[in-house]
Amino acid sequence: MPKPIYILNGPNLNLLGLRQPEIYGKQTLDDVAEACAGLAEDLGLTIRFHQSNHEGAVIDWIHQARNEGAGIIINPGAFTHTSVAILDALNAFDAPVLEVHISNVHKREAFRHHSYVSLRAEGVIAGFGTEGYLLALRRMKTLVGA
């Protein structure tokens, strides 16, 4: 069994489709999870899709991926801009990491322009809406070569 790709989502992303739809769109996180599962199947990948509002839970999944994951796609939400702890956890993970933002963070407030996670990520996708997760999954397929 090939190892799964972890798709991790940080705080407030459980409200996708409800919160600020003009910025984040109308798809729910369940819609995103379903679309990712469908594409993963086409690509011959398996995924584990998670969301938490708690930094420690995100870190625990990253630790779990050290043994069980082939790669990590992460939208850390606001932890992107604050969390050295998530960066440290990703630095302890030896396979590809891709960072996704639904919105174009560079077009927004200055505090969203800096990402700790970008210091580790092989690539960053921002501003492609929820489609960014699917683009990241396609890139992950290339990177893991499964």
Continuous segment of H or E residues that includes residue 58: helix 55-68
| 120 binds ligand DQA, rule: CB under 6 A | no
From residue 143, how far is each of 42, 112, 117, 125 by CA, in Å?
Answer: 16, 27, 18, 15
Give least dist CB 125 to ligand DQA, A: 10
- Is 18 one of the binding residues for ligand DQA (CB under 6 A)? no
Pick the closest to residue 30 from 123, 130, 112, 122 (CA basis). Answer: 130
Task: Give yes or no for residue 9 binding ligand DQA (CB under 6 A).
Answer: no
78 part of the interface to ligand DQA, by CB under 6 A: yes
Residue from the set 102, 117, 125, 136 that interacts with ligand DQA by CB under 6 A: 102
Q: How many of the other CB atoms lie within 10 Å of CB of 55?
A: 17
Instruction: Name the residue nearer to ligand DQA (CB basis): 35 or 146.
Output: 35
β-strand pairing of 123-126 with 47-51:
unpaired
Contact residues: ligand DQA, CB under 6 A = 12, 75, 77-78, 80, 101-103, 105, 112
